[in-house]
Amino acid sequence: MTSDNNVELRVRALESLLLEKGLVEAPAIDEIIDLFENRLGPQNGGKVVVRAWTDPAFKARLLANATEAIVEMGYDAVQGEDMVVVENTPEIHNVVVCTLCSCFPWATLGLPPVWYKSAPYRARAASDPRGVLVEFGTEISDEAQVRVWDSNAELRYMVLPERPAGTGAMNEDELLALVTRDSMIGVTRAQNP
Amino acid sequence: MKITRDVVLGLYKNTGTARVDADVAASFKVGDIIQARIINPTGHTRLPRYVRGKQGRIATDHGVFKFADSLAHGGGNQPQHLYSVRFDARELWGGDAKPQDCLYIDLWDDYLERAE
């Protein structure tokens, strides 16, 4: 195992080498960091979810043609070219995996978390989704249906989590705080207020 | 080539869909029962082993897309229909799975044959 400290040192060493050898210019590195910290990430997906929770016409457009509805919100980036959004309900729980590798909707959720790319998640989310969901603290009733989406081809999937009960009076910023990246992968629900 | 800020911006913008605007006939329609072919290519494929030989139902026809397998092998786009195919969890994983659970996966036309 490599400690986080060593990873940081190694990244610094690599960055120095790339700059010294003139392979990368410093503003390019700043741009990559800014992209993934501020412009591509689950904050975008969260805004899509909150809009769907609060705007029924948008939700209908999102479920009918997710690509267009997401671009309409300004999230037009790589790995978002062909999107599908699937809706969780009390009867249906959706969860997304890429059994091939790590396909993930960057424009709305950013880069995939490490566990999403791990062989155990990729194998078990397909073969034993209920077991995996329990490990994420997500209990699914025996009556509900679990739908797994293996996004190994060209489309990218995002889950529209259920709006938690007791949130009717919340404003958009308060709702946004309840929408986690994991809830849009489908391994958890949106947080309760 | 030195990686500049402009190169980075170009890499992360929408690079264009794998969708192809071509008039290609679909071999299957929504509702058809299909079987995923049993193939064992030595190179890249998007047809995972766990669905090979299994029966499912066409849930959605996504339209015509470049074929990832032929692209990976230098065989060009070979544009063809890409379908969302629904498999019952029990068909894939056996009787321990819940009867209502299912898995959807996007499969190209060349992966599929009509179920007997």
Question: What would the two tokens of residue A1 be?
Answer: 């195992």
Residue A102 forms contact with B (CB below 8 Å):
no
* Cβ separation A82–B8 shorter than 8 A: no
Residue B17 forms contact with A (CB below 8 Å):
yes
Question: What is the average per-residue pLDDT within A29-34?
Answer: 91
Please tell me the predicted confidence (pLDDT) of residue B2: 87
Please tell me the predicted confidence (pLDDT) of residue A137: 98
Domains by residue range for chain A, with CATH? 4-38 (no CATH), 40-185 (3.90.330.10)
- Among candidate residues A16, A101, A118, A127, the one labeled active-site is A101
CB pairs < 8 Å spanning A and B: 114
Please tell me the predicted confidence (pLDDT) of residue A2: 53
Classified as helix, coil or strand, A5 is helix
- Residue B77 burial (CB count, 10 A): 15
Please tell me the predicted confidence (pLDDT) of residue B54: 98
A 46-75 residues inside an 8 A Cβ radius of B: none
Q: Which residues pair with A83 in a beta bridge?
A: A156
Separation of alpha carbons B3 and A12, rounded Å: 17
> What's the burial of A68, exposed, middle or buried (CB within 10 Å: 0-12/13-18/19+)?
exposed
Going by C-alpha positions, the residue among A148, A60, A82, A159 that lies closest to residue B85 is: A148
* Cβ separation B68–A153 shorter than 8 A: yes
CB contacts of B92 in chain A (<8 Å) are 126-127
Q: Which of B5, B21, B66 to mutate to test the interface with A (most CBs of A within 10 A)?
A: B5
What single DSSP character describes residue A113?
A: P
Question: What is the average per-residue pLDDT within A140-161?
Answer: 96
Question: What is the average per-residue pLDDT within A143-158?
Answer: 96
Residue A75 near residue A51, CB atoms below 8 Å: no
* Cβ separation A24–B3 shorter than 8 A: yes
ipTM of predicted assembly, 2 dp: 0.94
- A18 half-sphere exposure, CB direction, 13 A CA radius: 16
Average pLDDT, chain A: 94
Please tell me the predicted confidence (pLDDT) of residue B49: 96
Whether the pLDDT of residue A181 is over 70: the answer is yes
* Cβ separation A148–B9 shorter than 8 A: no
Give the residue, A80 or A179, on which the prediction is more confident. Answer: A179
Domains by residue range for chain B, with CATH? 16-114 (2.30.30.50)
pLDDT cut 70: percent of chain A above it: 98
Crossing angle between the packed helical segments B5-12 and A26-34, to the nearest 10 degrees: 30
- pLDDT tens-place string over residues B61-90: 999 999 999 999 888 999 999 999 999 999
pLDDT band, residue B8 (cuts 50/70/90): confident
B 80-109 residues inside an 8 A Cβ radius of A: 82, 84, 89, 92-93, 98, 100-108
Question: What is the average per-residue pLDDT within B28-46?
Answer: 96
* Cβ separation B98–A126 shorter than 8 A: no
Of B3, B9, B62, the CB nearest to A155: B62
pLDDT band, residue A77 (cuts 50/70/90): confident
Average pLDDT, chain B: 93
Residue with tokens 């990218």: A156
Residue of A nearest to B47 (CA): A152
Of A40, A100, A130, the CB nearest to B46: A100
**Concatenated DSSP letters of A14-81:** HHHHHHHTTSB-HHHHHHHHHIIIIISSHHHHHHHHHHHHH-HHHHHHHHH-HHHHHHHTT--BTT-S
- pLDDT tens-place string over residues A78-97: 777 899 999 999 999 999 99
